[in-house]
Amino acid sequence: MAEKYCPILIQADGIEPVPSHIYYRMAEDENRILIACHIAWPYERDERSQGLAAAWNKLFYTGGLKLQTKIFGPEDIEAIEIVLDKTSRKIIRIRYESASHRSQEKTGEEIANIEKPYFEVTTWNHMFELKSPEQANGKRIYQLKPEYFTDDLWDYYKIIKKRQTLFSQNRAHFEWEQKPGSRN
């Protein structure tokens, strides 16, 4: 089921590197099936050549001191949630983080005709915009086979920290993934 609904990624020009994996986790309740897709990139690097933010990122965050790795863990992981109606198996909600670093939630008419979501990676730190298949024409497209996000991988990527501090932050995930039975 994860493979059927796993998003197709469109990567904008200048956005590197190529995504390496899509890991998934699933849970269900009385009426819904929840699928979390965690997309992994080998690294996160601000390739802008000018500006204070670019310089700070290169010196401290993704280069130099590599604070990104110290704060979050290895590689770069972002998450997309796809929620299905349990009976019809239609997508009823999609959640993701956009370039504005705001959580986006799409429901109802916005996603009524989506059978398989397409997401464009629009920023150097791998944020998303929901797109139509037609908007993918002529762009770099990645359709990775989803792999189950095992407990060992969850721990390797340090998704949830025992204690969050300024230099130790949880990674992108959904609250239901923390509940007992969600890591099966």
CA–CA gap between residue 8 and residue 31 (Å, rounded): 25
Q: Is 60 inside any structural domain?
A: no
Strands 118-121 and 8-11: parallel
Which pLDDT value is given to residue 123? 86
Establish if 52 belongs to a structural domain: no
* Residue 132 CB coordination number (10 Å): 11
CB atoms within 10 A of CB 98: 14
pTM: 0.85
Give the model's pLDDT for residue 13.
Answer: 81
- The answer as to whether 66 is a domain residue is no
Residue 35, pLDDT score: 98
pLDDT of residue 92: 97
On whether residue 111 sits in a domain, the answer given is yes
CA gap 86, 129 in Å, rounded: 26
- The whole-number mean pLDDT for each consecutive block of 10 residues of the chain, a chain of 184 residues, reads 95 89 96 97 74 71 68 85 97 92 90 94 90 93 96 91 82 82 44
Q: What is the pLDDT of residue 183?
A: 43
Length of the chain: 184
In a domain, 56, yes or no: no
Please name which of 116, 28, 21 lies closest in space to residue 77, comparing C-alpha atoms.
Answer: 21
State the Cα–Cα distance between residues 96 and 113, nearest whole angstrom.
18
Total domain count for the chain? Answer: 1
47 within a domain of the structure (yes/no): no
What is the maximum alpha-carbon separation in the chain? Answer: 52
DSSP 127-180: -EEEE-GGGGTTSEEE-PPPEE--HHHHHHTT-S-SS-BTTB-PPS--GGGGST
Q: Give domain status of residue 48, yes or no.
A: no
Contact partners, residue 112, CB within 8 Å, separation at least 6? none
Residues of the domain holding 96? 2-42+73-178
In a domain, 68, yes or no: no
